[in-house]
Amino acid sequence: MNRCPNGHEQRLGLKCETCGADMSYRQSVSELLELPKVSPVYGRLSILSVGYPKLSLKADYIGEIAIAQADSQTSAAFQVASIRGGSWLDFNKKYLDKLRRWVALVGVARSTDMIVVVDTMKPLSVLALSALPTPEHTAVIAVVADKNSTPVEQNTSYVALSLALKKGLPVIALSQTFEREMLYFTEDRGLVTGGDALSRLLEPILSARDDLMDILERDLKLGIKLHSISALVAGSRAVYGTATNAFLAQSYGISIAGDKTDNQTVHSLVFSKNSDSTEFEKGFGVFRNRGFKSALSAEFRFRETSSQLYDILTIYGMGDQSVFQAIKNGYDAIVKSVPELKVPEG
């Protein structure tokens, strides 16, 4: 702001309104060259979805990477035209640099926490995971191929998952079969499947993102990057009786099939009325002692809600090979035919 010779601030005019001194704007011209500092606030949570358009989730920022009719870039979406007969390699060659610029411009990774929800069987999954930086407090929730997937899906999933783990990102993996068979209850819509079921599963996880990121980052320090999950959504005492029964019931539907001995850590998040916290903590103790007594780490965390129904989510830290073994044959078969479709080096 301009000042008169006596130091009084004056916006416009030939004389100072305070002391009447003549105004000179020559000294103020240099101030016009100084641009104001921009300090954007990116929020606490950003979600980037790949292969799952319009997930019904709450966050400070929700963006998507998707295939559309034509190339398009907005603040909330990076869309690319379909490539006829295209593999993940074709999309990488054409769009990787563009996607990296979009990620930087939008500031996707600058929030306190970031969650990437990705269908690793889709060609864009490799593109997205190749373009993303590796900031702290980032986690990947990945639907991965399994033995029922096609070799092409297994190859794409193998490459995408390998990239995420190479970058040191913690991954919660859901098999294709688990994702397709998800069926959950919502109080406002009843039973939901598909993308709606995935949203219902993720709602409590994201509402407890501080606990989630703490659990995943603790496991990282133990060298554990890959996780599976089991869940009991909208449970009630009328159906399951005791908390111990509820814990045991949800453990029969783990997102990645395998032996319990594959699980190196086990962490449960319970969302229920505060009066139920002690019972659920005891139930977790029984659950842990029966199946995971040798786990490197085991934690129970409770979040109070007002609902009469409760959710239980258990996250299991596991070895990487639990997923890769099931899809390696498909990956190898594709690489044998097209060697360029192997996991990128570096």
Residues 91-102: pLDDT tens digits? 999 999 999 999
Strands 190-192 and 263-272, bridge-based pairing: unpaired
Q: Distance between CA atoms of 30 and 9, rounded to whole angstroms?
A: 16
Token pair of 124, please? 């864009």
pLDDT at 1: 59
The pLDDT value recorded for residue 223 is 93
pLDDT averaged over the chain? 89
pLDDT band at 228 (very low <50, low <70, confident <90, very high): very high
Q: Is the pLDDT of residue 152 over 80?
A: yes
Q: Is the pLDDT of residue 20 over 90?
A: no
C-alpha dist (Å) from residue 329 to 77, 148, 231: 34, 12, 30
DSSP conformation class of 22: B
The whole-model pTM stands at 0.86
User: In percent, how much of the chain has pLDDT > 90?
Assistant: 62
Q: Judging by DSSP bridges, how do beta strands 184-186 and 72-73 pair with one another?
A: unpaired
Tell which wins on pLDDT, 160 or 6: 160
> What 8-state DSSP symbol labels residue 181?
H
Structure confidence at residue 32 (pLDDT): 60
List the 113-119 sheet strands across, edge first: 72-73, 77-81, 61-68, 45-50, 113-119, 138-144, 171-175, 226-235, 310-318, 263-272, 297-304
Domains by residue range for the chain, with CATH: 1-39 (no CATH), 45-328 (3.40.50.1440)
